[in-house]
Amino acid sequence: MFEFVRANTRLFQFILLILILPSFAFVGMQGYTSMMDGANAGVATVNGRKITQAEWDAAQREQADRIRRQNPTIDAKLLDTPEVKRAALDQLVNERTLKAAADQQHFTPSAEAVNARFWNDPQFAFLRNPDGTVNKGLLAAQGMTPSIFMERLRQDYALRQVTTPIESSAAVGTAAPKLAFDSLLQQREVQLQHFDIKDFAAKINPSDADIDAFYKEPANAAKFQLPETAQIQYVVLDLEALKKDVKFTEDDLKNYYKENVSRYGVPEERRASHILIKVERSAPAEERAKAKAKAEEILAQVRKNPAEFAALAKKNSQDEGSAVNGGDLDFFSRGAMVKEFDAAVYAMKPGEISNLVETDFGYHIIQLTGTRGGEQKPFEAVRAEVEAEVRKQLAQRRYSEAAEQFGNLVYEQSDSLQPAADKLKLQVQTATVQRQPLPGAIGPLASTKLLDAVFGVEALRNKRNTEAIETGPSQLVSAHVTQHNPARVPPLADVKDKVRDQLVRKLASEQAKKAGEARVAALKANPADTAGLEAAVTVSRPMSHSLTRAQLEAVLGADAAKLPVALGVAADDGGYLVVRINQLRPRDAAIIDDKRAAQQYASAWARAEAQAYLAALKSQYKASIKVAAPASGASAP
């Protein structure tokens, strides 16, 4: 338990960003969008108040920016799909519904309660500096100041009070979790026989007439069509481009270092071992006294023979995660543990053993076993890092002014990008693009907004620059089409080899399927005929071996009331897989035992209860979305 708190600090950071910051998007834009209601058509309503198109757009941008910050290498195409855009609107409706419920039920946490939650909750430890201040740098990376963060935390606290009682009241027995996980994680012993298309393709030699007929089939025309493309020039205005042209002196760097010297130290970390005797603060006095007496008895033994600390921890500690390691918690930074434990550790000297330390977990006996870090790095050692940060900040200050210039130049001198490139010292780049991002496209060329503009009337027919388009955080792009190539079907002579390969693959797949189906029929007629079957392996959802997800689900979903049973499943590459199920096996207890299965089942049940309650609240507050859910591949509003 206590080991889990220490080992999953980054998990808590992720939870904070995923679960809390989405609701912050609503709080942050509320004041502005209230002024815009009259100018925007409503896309949804909750409790008589509409959600405008402007609010939806802002929520989409906030969602995309947040995901990019958490995963800078994510494919930009994934953030601009109709499904993702609709998810932003659904989230906005959910937040407005919870806010309406919180307001009606007067869930308004005090500033003291919010502060207490921030300073005592381990999940916020990564936002607390060793000196007890808020990590402004990390908040700034999320576009927030400490005051904005605390206000958004207060709002989030209020919203969570609506569903927390429902989630915490969910109760499940032992039978349902066991049945659910036994079914989900059942293992099956199988034997496989592969019918690969390459084994059949080697024997297929289609004639020219066969190739010609296959090429002329209407259904195959699209397979060989050359896509529409455009050759473009484009310029990118972003922080990276502006960083190259910022000016500063060596004194500027040294002053920045002095003002932010705490950022350039090696954080102090401490290593400790502990013995925990569990007891909740709310437990009856008699129970608490009994736990304390036991802890004091162990403390006396430890003080009498400190060298036996690890042995006593293994024998007595009720922190399952660390007890097996003699109580060792490894190294951790200030703020990673609960408040009382953290304060005790950072007040100790190496080798020292604490008095009893009381926390929400119970009574701890702590031994400080090591320290490291805490040194300050000299300016010379971090000069490159300081320069990079100064360049970034200066570029950010310059960006707003440069963005306005960029937009004006590409619009006013729309026959060329060179004036904008010369004025702002940008590089004119070239590329060949299609209406949809090419596989592996990154940066601006992965932006569907930019590609829509490239293939728009103004750029394609009138040969004008596209407008300045936002393709990422602090990034504007304009493109100019230099050549347009419409889609066309090439003559057979140009693609004959490709057509032949496609035909051979199709015929080989058909033969593989036919042979596989015949083998399944033979196994059903004579289950003892195992010729050609591979050695038996055990498969399950956690252990798929060579099976694809579709094949695995087919195997696990097959009726196995009477064994052995044979079935056939198509392979992703066009081949065919024959499977003989020999026997069923219970789930592997090493993957999840009954205790953890019950915990996970209860957690899932609690989430389902909360979702059902939210649905009821949406009905109560007449939440409705007025725009149709966009079909996959379509453009959302």
470 contacts 407 by C-beta, under 8 angstroms: no
Amino acid code (one letter) for 482: T
Q: What pLDDT is attached to residue 328?
A: 93
Query: Which of these ranges, 54-58, 135-139, 233-237, 301-305, has the smallest mean pLDDT?
Result: 135-139
Q: What pLDDT is attached to residue 123?
A: 73
Q: What is the model's pTM?
A: 0.49
Q: In the structure, what pLDDT confidence band is assigned to residue 122 with cuts at 50, 70 and 90?
A: confident
Provide the 3-class DSSP secondary structure of residue 510: helix
pLDDT at 169 over 90: no
Q: What pLDDT is attached to residue 132?
A: 61
478 contacts 235 by C-beta, under 8 angstroms: yes
pLDDT at 582 over 60: yes
Q: Calculate the average pLDDT of the chain.
A: 85
pLDDT tens digits, residue range 48-98? 999 999 889 888 888 887 787 777 777 777 777 888 889 899 999 999 999
567 contacts 520 by C-beta, under 8 angstroms: yes
C-alpha distances out from residue 448 to 70, 72, 82, 85, Å: 21, 18, 12, 13
User: Which strands form 269-278's sheet, in the order they lie side by side?
Assistant: 328-333, 269-278, 362-372, 357-359
3-state secondary structure 390-433: HHHHHHHHHHHHHHHHHHHHHHHCCCCCHHHHHHHCCCCEEEEE
First to last CA, the chain: 47
pLDDT at 509 over 90: yes
Which of 539, 425, 537, 415 shows the shortest CA–CA distance to 466? 415
More confident of the two residues 252 and 26? 252
pLDDT tens digits, residue range 412-435? 999 999 999 999 999 999 999 999
Range among 30-34, 151-155, 264-268, 622-626 rated most confident: 622-626
Q: What pLDDT is attached to residue 629?
A: 64
pLDDT tens digits, residue range 360-415? 889 999 999 999 887 778 888 889 988 988 888 888 888 888 999 999 999 999 99
Range among 138-147, 365-374, 405-414, 603-612 rated most confident: 405-414
313 contacts 322 by C-beta, under 8 angstroms: yes
Q: Quick one: average pLDDT of 526-543?
A: 92
Q: What pLDDT is attached to residue 281?
A: 86
pLDDT at 32 over 70: no
C-alpha distances out from residue 590 to 68, 179, 451, Å: 36, 17, 50
Q: What pLDDT is attached to residue 28?
A: 36
Q: Quick one: average pLDDT of 162-176?
A: 80
DSSP string, 325-379: TTTEEEEEETTSS-HHHHHHHTT--TT-B---EEETTEEEEEEEEEEE--PBPPH
Q: With pLDDT > 70 as the criterion, what percentage of the chain qualifies? A: 90
Q: In the structure, what pLDDT confidence band is assigned to residue 634 with cuts at 50, 70 and 90?
A: very low
Q: What pLDDT is attached to residue 637?
A: 38
Q: What pLDDT is attached to residue 130?
A: 61
Q: What pLDDT is attached to residue 274?
A: 96
Q: In the structure, what pLDDT confidence band is assigned to residue 180 with cuts at 50, 70 and 90?
A: confident
Q: With pLDDT > 90 as the criterion, what percentage of the chain qualifies? A: 49
Q: What pLDDT is attached to residue 159?
A: 86
The angle formed by the CA atoms of residues 381, 383 and 388, to the nearest 5 degrees, is 135
Q: What pLDDT is attached to residue 141?
A: 66
Q: In the structure, what pLDDT confidence band is assigned to residue 20 with cuts at 50, 70 and 90?
A: very low
Q: Which residue reads 């004119």 in tokens? A: 428
Q: Quick one: average pLDDT of 594-610?
A: 84
pLDDT at 4 over 60: no
β-pair partners for 453: none
Q: Quick one: average pLDDT of 251-259?
A: 87
Q: What pLDDT is attached to residue 138?
A: 75
Q: Quick one: average pLDDT of 541-566?
A: 92
Q: In the structure, what pLDDT confidence band is assigned to residue 332 with cuts at 50, 70 and 90?
A: confident
